[in-house]
Amino acid sequence: MRTGILGGTFDPIHEGHLAVADAACAMLDLPRVLVIPSHHPPHRPAEPRVSPYHRFAMAALAVLPRKPGPRYDPSDLELVSADRSYTANTLRRLQADGLDPCALFFLTGADAFAEIATWRDYPALFDLAHFVVVSRPRHPVAAIPQVLPTLRDRMIMGQVQGARKELVMRRIVDGQAVSPRKAPPAIWLLDWPTPDVSSTDIRRRLRENESIAGMVPENVEAYIRRYGLYGASPEANR
């Protein structure tokens, strides 16, 4: 089954992460997404603020109230391993479980993808799955071909255009139209209006007793307050 993989620290998970999954499902016609919290994220100066158990629980809650359509499932694949959470290893694990690289779509925001040359097994990891790059406020996907010019051959730009909201997918190098159902592992650049939300800002707001309404699903906020995560005040005192 064609499967999106949404990896991240999710400290905490928020509406921006869910919008990345929504963008990929809508534009690449994916029936399901695995949401995989990382255990020890490799590229961070500090360990996550809350435990992997809390981050997994929040991811599981976040996907519960989703509308009908593609299925979003939390996965403990990276949490059950004590190793650093390298994407290449995760993709190889999924392949060993029977998923074909042509059916795997690893989802990232444009800020994270701009750093991809520092990831383990770059550039071999591009043969392990499709990569899907979704725009983030202040990080347009149109900038990616200049940031990573050696990968231009593999890049396909997807945009929703015109009054009829027509979906257009074209290769960067020659403008040729491509179908996501037929292509070998490629890099899909998706222009999509994701909300201006970050986990860093949510943690700061909770510490400083500011509202996070609308930034995370309601049940995730209730969980954060129930356990006083990130210095949040309890639900009753809101």
16 binds ligand ATP (CB under 6 A): yes
β-strands 166-171, 155-161 pairing: antiparallel
Smallest separation, CB 223 to ligand ATP (Å): 17
Site string (25-44) toward ligand ATP, x via CB under 6 A: --------------------
95 binds ligand ATP (CB under 6 A): no
| Element at 170 (helix H, strand E) | strand 166-171
3-state secondary structure of 208: coil
Stretch that binds ligand ATP, among 6-14, 52-60, 89-97, 140-148 (CB under 6 A): 6-14
- Pick from 234, 231, 235: which is nearest to 50 by CA? 231
Cβ–Cβ < 8 Å for 173, 123: no
Distance, in Å, from the CA atom of 111 to the CA atom of 130, rounded to the nearest integer, reads 17
90 binds ligand ATP (CB under 6 A): no
Token digits of residue 232: 């949040």
Distance, in Å, from the CA atom of 209 to the CA atom of 113, rounded to the nearest integer, reads 32
Cβ–Cβ < 8 Å for 84, 42: yes
Smallest separation, CB 230 to ligand ATP (Å): 11
C-alpha dihedral, 174 to 180 to 186 to 192, nearest 10°: 90
108 binds ligand ATP (CB under 6 A): yes
Nearer to ligand ATP, 171 or 201 (CB): 201
136 binds ligand ATP (CB under 6 A): yes
10 binds ligand ATP (CB under 6 A): yes
- CB neighbour class for 95 (10 Å; exposed up to 12, middle 13-18, buried from 19): middle
Tell me which of 9, 85, 87, 89 binds ligand ATP, using CB under 6 A: 9
Smallest separation, CB 4 to ligand ATP (Å): 12
Please count the residues of this chain forming the interface with ligand ATP, following the rule CB under 6 A.
Answer: 19
- CB neighbour class for 45 (10 Å; exposed up to 12, middle 13-18, buried from 19): exposed
8 binds ligand ATP (CB under 6 A): yes
Q: Return the residues of window 43-82 that contact ligand ATP according to CB under 6 A.
A: none
Smallest separation, CB 149 to ligand ATP (Å): 21
Q: Return the residues of window 171-230 that contact ligand ATP according to CB under 6 A.
A: 194-195, 197-200
Residues that bind ligand ATP (CB under 6 A): 8-11, 16-17, 20, 108-109, 111-112, 134, 136, 194-195, 197-200
